[in-house]
Amino acid sequence: MNTFFCRAFQCCFAVGARFLPWRTPEVFSGEGSLLRAADILRENGLRRPFVIASRRQCADEHFRALQEKLDEQDILLSIFSSVEPNPSVETVEKIAAEKCGIIKHGSHAVLFGQTEGVENVARETCAREDVPLTITAQSELTRISSSLDGQVFRYRGHGPFHLRLLGEYQLLNALTVVDVSFALRERGWDKLTDAAIDQGLSTAQWPGRLELLRRGPDFIVDGAHNPQCVDALMDSLAALYGDKKLIFLTGVLRDKDWQQMLRRALPLAKAQ
């Protein structure tokens, strides 16, 4: 019913939008142009603007300066920063159903935590095939430490586990590894003890994925090849280095969205 309502709304809006009095956007550019937004909002009597931006954009010093100016003028800024590609629920569920085709009776399915719709598809498939399902649970994750030497964590009451790989996304990937190991242990793989899991995680290597090649100075290599990967990379670098500005040596193929990729890296760059 919810899907039908969304589709009906989209169709009606697509027709009605043709008759709405849309205004041509006014573009401001040049030094200090972002701060002009505060004056424009005040002049037009707008006190509660709503901004859609990525987390990386929100962390930019220019964006923070705008927030401070808005605060000074008593303008309440609301921010939605969970910006990501947004395929329709129907498309996501269809893809999930196709992926779940590999689930067969006699196996044990392990799924990295997804949207509710995707998880429900997995649950339905597993129920139909009489297959146990484990979904990773970030609520069961306890972070102990994170540095250039690696990450230490507990999960589902087990650990501590030592992960050699850097980056928040690698830590979340490790949860899937641990859950798969637990599932195999239940099926008789007794040698997959907590100590064995820890040994595997502590020695795992992934060349070109936030890979630390040397120290003093630190030299890190990463193969981020789209804006979403760059966002994950910037989040990881910010967690490791804080407000420290970094030097980037970048090469991008011409068919990639290199403009967006570089824009998302600029806030952490030593020279812009």
Per-residue pLDDT tens over the stretch 96-121: 998 999 999 999 999 999 988 899 99
The set of residues, in sequence order, having a beta carbon less than 8 Å from that of 183 and lying 6+ positions away, is 108, 110, 132, 134
Tokens 């919810």 sit on residue = 2
Q: Span 17-36, mean pLDDT?
A: 76
- Reply yes or no on whether the pLDDT at 132 is more than 80: yes
Average pLDDT taken over every residue of the chain: 86
Is 90 exceeded by the pLDDT of residue 41? Answer: no
Is residue 194 within a helix (H) or strand (E), and if so which, with residue range?
helix 194-203
Identify the band that residue 89 occupies on the pLDDT scale cut at 50, 70 and 90: very low
The stretch 202-212 carries a mean pLDDT of 93
- Distance of alpha carbon 50 from alpha carbon 240, whole angstroms: 31
User: In the prediction, which pLDDT does 19 show?
Assistant: 74
- Residue from 173, 139, 133 nearest 155 by CA: 139
0.85 surpassed by pTM: no
Please state the length of the chain: 272
Residue 157 has pLDDT above 70, yes or no: yes
Flag whether pLDDT at 56 surpasses 50.
yes
Give the least confident one: 54-68, 117-131, 195-209, 252-266.
Answer: 54-68
Residue 87 predicted with pLDDT over 70:
no
- Higher-pLDDT residue of 22 and 86 is 22
% of the chain with per-residue pLDDT over 90: 48
Per-residue model confidence (pLDDT) at position 202? 96
Report, as an integer, the average pLDDT of 175-194: 96
168 vs 21, higher pLDDT: 168
